[in-house]
Amino acid sequence: MPISSVSTNRCGTNASSQALIAGRDRYTKIIVFAATVQHARDLHVAMKHSRLVDHYDSPSITSRAPTTAGAVPRSNFFTVERATKRSILINVEVVIEGY
């Protein structure tokens, strides 16, 4: 499900969250492309405090930084993400395809 523009303001994040919740039966692995690391952090906080956590495993962030959100070593990050049944990955300059 492409989300052409995800805003960090309440309205944009809320609308995106509602779309993901509505499509939860069809969408199990989601990648959200963020423009900057700060954008990814803002989205991560907004998602963690939304109803998304009732339907998806905790949203995670990946970037070029040596470690990722949740202190999972980078070498294990995608292994852990692939093992989850339903997840949201907030990406900054790393992933260009599905995981």
One digit per residue, the tens of pLDDT, for the chain of length 99 reads 344 334 444 445 677 788 888 888 888 888 888 888 888 888 888 888 888 888 888 788 777 655 545 555 666 777 888 888 888 888 887 766 555
- φ, ψ of residue 82 to 5 degrees: the values are -65, -30
- φ, ψ of residue 20 to 5 degrees: the values are -70, -40
Residue linked to tokens 């944009």: 12
Instruction: Please tell me the predicted confidence (pLDDT) of residue 5.
Output: 39
Query: What is the rounded distance in angstroms from the CA atom of residue 30 to the CA atom of residue 33?
Result: 10
Instruction: Please tell me the predicted confidence (pLDDT) of residue 6.
Output: 40
pTM: 0.69
